[in-house]
């Protein structure tokens, strides 16, 4: 016999001896234990769509005028407006003053989940005479 044929024959005999139902076979399958439980298959978590986040920005490039007040109150009002992002100028005549103010740059007013909610906030700000835009963050 050629060596390849001899090898295949030996492999077939060994396989028959191992997998036969002989009682002296050491590799015979054992019955499952009564107390053993099969591990439960874990369910893969459902993928949830990512929450989109939007920011609402506003500006007001048109000059607005406050009411006529005294000079110290007008300067305090201008300081407060500048701290909130407005550019403010005080025009004074004798003891009375007027504050003119506007917001040229875009300022973020709200960060909200969902485009519909962001548009609702933007429409509210537009009703207050601001220019509003909605930007997607994520």
101 within 8 A of 66, measured Cβ to Cβ: yes
Full residue range of the structural domain in which residue 130 is found: 53-136
What are the angstrom distances between the C-alpha of 9 and each of 12, 14, 18, 22, 26?
Answer: 5, 9, 14, 20, 22
Residue 31 lies in a domain: no
Q: What is the pTM of this model?
A: 0.56
Residue 79 lies in a domain: yes
CATH number at residue 109: 3.30.70
According to DSSP, residue 23 is labeled T
pLDDT (tens place) for every residue of the chain, 138 residues total: 567 777 777 777 777 666 665 555 555 666 666 666 667 778 877 777 767 899 999 999 999 998 899 999 999 999 999 999 899 999 998 889 999 999 999 999 999 999 999 999 999 999 999 999 999 987
86 within 8 A of 102, measured Cβ to Cβ: yes
Q: Dig out the tokens for 3 from the structure.
A: 């060596």
């Amino acid at each position: 016999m050629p060596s390849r044929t001899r090898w295949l024959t030996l492999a077939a005999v060994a396989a028959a001896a191992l997998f036969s139902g002989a009682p002296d076979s050491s590799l015979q399958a054992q019955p499952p234990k009564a107390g053993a439980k099969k591990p439960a298959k874990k369910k893969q978590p459902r993928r949830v769509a990512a929450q989109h986040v939007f920011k609402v920005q506003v500006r007001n490039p048109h000059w607005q005028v406050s009411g006529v007040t005294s000079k110290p109150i007008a300067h305090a009002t201008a300081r407060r407006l500048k701290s909130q992002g407005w550019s403010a100028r005080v025009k004074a005549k004798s003891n009375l003053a007027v504050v003119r103010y506007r917001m040229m740059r875009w300022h973020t007013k709200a960060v909200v989940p969902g485009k519909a909610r962001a548009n609702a906030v933007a429409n509210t700000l537009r009703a207050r005479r601001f220019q509003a835009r909605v930007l997607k963050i994520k």
